[in-house]
Amino acid sequence: MMKTLSRKNEIIKVAATLFRKKGYNAISMRDIASEMDMKAASLYNHISGKQEILATIILEVANEFTLGMERMLTQKSSSLKSLENLIELHIDITLNHSEALASLNNDWMHLEGKNLNAFIKMRDGYESNFRNIIQQGIEANEIKPHHPEVILFSILSTLRTLYIWYEKRGKLDVNVLKKDMVSVLIKGIV
């Protein structure tokens, strides 16, 4: 039984890399099997199909964001400290799950049924909590009174594409990345 699980994880890892390179729609189960040097029919001993693979990849990383947000909310920190922690959470998840983030950003709309609903619920909940932290920061005069949606968009759009920039930029020390991103995203550049 344990061997099946590790083989399943291997399939998911290989598929995530292929999805990132070519996109979910362009990859077939045959492509995944070929990359793993096995017959496509053998894949089905471990996994039900591409949809299960995609759901596993996306929901696992979405769950990490959700759990990170939940931890943040129980800490009762200032809004500023919560935003710093969320930026660092995004950096940690980006560095540990860049392939999954590519699927989350580029292929989430290919999820179906309960998996799609679960993802949208997690994403919307995360963004809502993020927005509330920003709003509380504005109300507490910790954050300049800019429109919360503009702040949310500015921070999240940067963090959601960090995996692309980080890969092209080359490996930057994670502590420098965290310190500088927190500084730029929260304090700005002037």
Output 76 or 184, whichever has higher pLDDT: 184
pLDDT tens digits, 118-155: 999 999 999 999 999 999 999 999 999 999 999 999 99
Band the pLDDT of 184: cuts 50, 70, 90: very high
Q: How confident is the model at residue 6 (pLDDT cuts 50, 70, 90)?
A: confident
Structural contact between residues 115 and 51, judged by C-beta atoms closer than 8 angstroms: yes
**Predicted local confidence at residue 189, as pLDDT:** 86
Global model pTM greater than 0.85: yes
Residue 38: predicted pLDDT: 93
pLDDT digits 0-9 by tens, 23-57: 999 999 999 999 999 999 999 999 999 999 999 99
Q: For the chain, give the percent of residues with pLDDT over 90.
A: 89
Domains in the chain: boundaries: 50-187
CATH class of 50-187: mainly alpha
pLDDT reading at 171 higher than 80 = no
Instruction: Name residue, tokens 């594409």.
Output: 161
pLDDT of 68-94, one tens digit each?
A: 999 999 998 999 999 999 999 999 999
Q: How far apart are CA 8 and CA 2, in angstroms?
A: 10
pLDDT at 170 over 80: no
**In which residue are the tokens 């959601």 written?**
160
3-state secondary structure the chain: CHHHHHHHHHHHHHHHHHHHHHCCCCCCHHHHHHHCCCCHHHHCCCCCCHHHHHHHHHHHHHHHHHHHHHHHHHCCCCHHHHHHHHHHHHHHHHHHCHHHHHHHHHHHHHCCHHHHHHHHHHHHHHHHHHHHHHHHHHHCCCCCCCCHHHHHHHHHHHHHCHHHHHHHHCCCCHHHHHHHHHHHHHHCCC
